[in-house]
A and B are shown apart, each in its own frame.
Chain A
Amino acid sequence: MTMADMRLRVNWLECKARGICAEVLPEMIELDDWGYPIVVDGPVPGDLIDEARLAVQSCPRLALLLMPDPR
């Protein structure tokens, strides 16, 4: 599996709108009206994979996941 097969997913049950992910990975994440992340759909580009991993690790709720793309 290549890095391009990974995508970001939010565990909505855990996410509490802390917003750190959008600071770490603004290229792929913005916040909605209530502070919850809006994540760009589709595979994480190779040049952003390190930032994506950092965003995942930065979430205090462990609510951001990097998962194999099911498609």
Chain B
Amino acid sequence: MRTPQPPQTLTPPGVLPRLLEQVGTPGRAATLAEHVARHGHVPYRGGPGVLISTIEQAGLTGRGGAAFPTARKMKAVLDGGKRAVVVGNGAEGEPAAWKDRALLTTNPHLVLDGLQLAAEAVDANKAVLYVQDDSMVQSAVERALDERAAAKVDKIEVELVVAPTRFISGEESALANRVSGGPAKPRFTPPRVFERGVKNRPTLVQNVETLGHIALIGRYGAPWFKQAGPSDDPGTMLVSISGVVSPVVLEAQRGAAISAVFDRAGVDVSEVGAVLIGGYHGAWLGRDEAWTLHLDNKELKPKGAAVGAGVLVAFPKDRCGLHETARVVDYLAGESAQQCGPCMFGLPALADTLHHLASPQGAHRGTVDEIARLGTLVERRGACHHPDGSMRFVRSALRVFAPEVSMHASGRCSGTSNRQVLPIHEAPQRPADWK
């Protein structure tokens, strides 16, 4: 194929959109030629470490949920003493998240550029793209990799590994196990994955959205990146919105008002009863408090919440938050890797107790106290954070849906519809061997 031609001068994207700017034909992924015509070639730096200081200046944080400073993680891997492995994490095990899918099926070359740049920066000689079990994503990525192979734009070959449809398959140690050939189950740390991950080598795991930002920072620089978002947590982020509206993915500035993001998604505030932020390891917020808050971890932390991987659910007021929470905790219990006792036994006990709380007989203080007690038995008692995250979700439900508990005690319920709002992966989708 002919070599794609870059433009004479590069025009940086504005504040929004960046990652989801349409550079190809709407409805399909941008080709390599379209991508190069918009953004030019991969801006390799010529050696390890160089790009890390630019990323540090940009203040980029991981977009997979933990918001850890990307440059710090890269430095740790570069200083790991052995040749590193870099993995783009697109597992997206969270059922209410579609943003990695949206990015990989719109602008896959941004992610693949970022993967090459990250590999160069940490001196990796192995690169892996770990993607969800989704035919649209896989075909977009395979096609993009074929184009890049033909045009010889990649310095190191990229291996594609499919993540099993499991809530925690993107957890770093689970990812390292899967990419090493085993099941996507978490393992004991230390050693941490950046010290010893895939095949016991220092492993840089970055969410695919983070890699997309790296591709843009590599071209347009740190000052450009910081034109969006607050100075202490700059840039944009992808947000998956659902609930009272059909699921949609938007790009927003970090620090944007939650109400403004919902507004763009067409959410009618009068239909909303509560808000879930950060997904099923995230937290419920009351509607009125959510409408005063921003996508800002400093502001959300006192509420026990975090931006996470950008999941926002505008939960309808004609649905019962207690019933929905109990149903999701059933699902989360089923997503235990069955490795750690407190998770294996504690999450089903929590789910049962939540169902009891949602019933007219169980809606009282004693059940709430029992949930809190079970919480102390699961929190910080596992190899991964699945129990902790699940309990964060449950605690926030107890806070936000306290009025609903009182209603249930008097035999009433907000749920006038049985529609299931919060998506879950059904059992047949979830491979029993975690591969």
- Cβ–Cβ < 8 Å partners of B340 in chain A: 12-13, 15
Q: Are A12 and B381 in contact (CB under 8 A)?
A: yes
| Min C-beta distance of B99 to chain A, whole Å | 31
Q: Which of B187, B341, B382, B383 contacts A34 (CB 8 A)?
A: B341
Q: Are B377 and A32 in contact (CB under 8 A)?
A: yes
- Cβ–Cβ < 8 Å partners of B346 in chain A: 34
Per-residue interface assignment for chain B, residues 341 to 375, with 1 indicating a CB less than 8 Å from any chain A CB and 0 otherwise: 11101100100000000000000000000000000
Whether a CB of chain B sits under 8 angstroms from the CB of A17 is yes
Complex CA gap A36/B349 in Å reads: 15
Whether a CB of chain B sits under 8 angstroms from the CB of A33 is yes
- Cβ–Cβ < 8 Å partners of A38 in chain B: 377
Q: If A32-B377, A36-B381 touch, does A15 touch B341 (CB 8 Å cutoff)?
A: yes
Q: Which of B339, B345, B382, B383 contacts A33 (CB 8 A)?
A: B345
Whether a CB of chain B sits under 8 angstroms from the CB of A66 is no
Q: Which residue of B lies closest to A39 (CB)?
A: B381
Interface size class of B (residues with CB under 8 A): 10 to 19
Per-residue interface assignment for chain B, residues 217 to 260, with 1 indicating a CB less than 8 Å from any chain A CB and 0 otherwise: 00000000000000000000000000000000000000000000
Q: If A32-B377, A33-B377 touch, does A12 touch B382 (CB 8 Å cutoff)?
A: yes
Whether a CB of chain B sits under 8 angstroms from the CB of A57 is no
Q: Which residue of A lies closest to B186 (CB)?
A: A13
Complex CA gap A17/B341 in Å reads: 8
- Cβ–Cβ < 8 Å partners of A34 in chain B: 341-342, 345-346
Q: Are B349 and A33 in contact (CB under 8 A)?
A: yes
Q: Are A10 and B381 in contact (CB under 8 A)?
A: yes
Per-residue interface assignment for chain A, residues 13 to 54, with 1 indicating a CB less than 8 Å from any chain B CB and 0 otherwise: 111110000000000000011111010000000000000000
Report how many A-B pairs have Cβ atoms within 8 Å.
Answer: 36
Q: Which residue of A lies closest to B376 (CB)?
A: A38
- Cβ–Cβ < 8 Å partners of A10 in chain B: 381
Q: Which residue of B lies closest to A10 (CB)?
A: B381
- Cβ–Cβ < 8 Å partners of B377 in chain A: 32-33, 38
Complex CA gap A17/B346 in Å reads: 14
Within 8 A of A (CB), among B144-197: 187-188
| Min C-beta distance of B144 to chain A, whole Å | 37
Q: Which residue of A lies closest to B343 (CB)?
A: A12
Q: Are A36 and B342 in contact (CB under 8 A)?
A: yes
Complex CA gap A10/B382 in Å reads: 9
Q: Which of B188, B342, B345 contacts A11 (CB 8 A)?
A: B188
Complex CA gap A34/B374 in Å reads: 11
Q: Which residue of B lies closest to A38 (CB)?
A: B377
Complex CA gap A10/B317 in Å reads: 43
- Cβ–Cβ < 8 Å partners of B381 in chain A: 10, 12, 36
What 15 new A-B contacts, CB under 8 Å, besides A13-B188, A17-B341, A34-B341?
Answer: A11-B188, A12-B340, A12-B342, A12-B381, A13-B187, A15-B340, A16-B341, A32-B342, A33-B345, A33-B349, A33-B377, A35-B341, A36-B341, A36-B342, A38-B377
Query: Can you identify 16 A-B contacts, CB atoms within 8 angstroms?
Result: A10-B381, A11-B383, A12-B340, A12-B341, A12-B342, A12-B343, A12-B382, A12-B383, A13-B188, A13-B339, A13-B340, A16-B341, A33-B345, A33-B349, A34-B341, A36-B342
Q: Taking beta carbons and an 8 Å cutoff, which residues of A are in contact with B?
A: 10-17, 32-36, 38
Q: Taking beta carbons and an 8 Å cutoff, which residues of B are in contact with A?
A: 187-188, 339-343, 345-346, 349, 377, 381-383
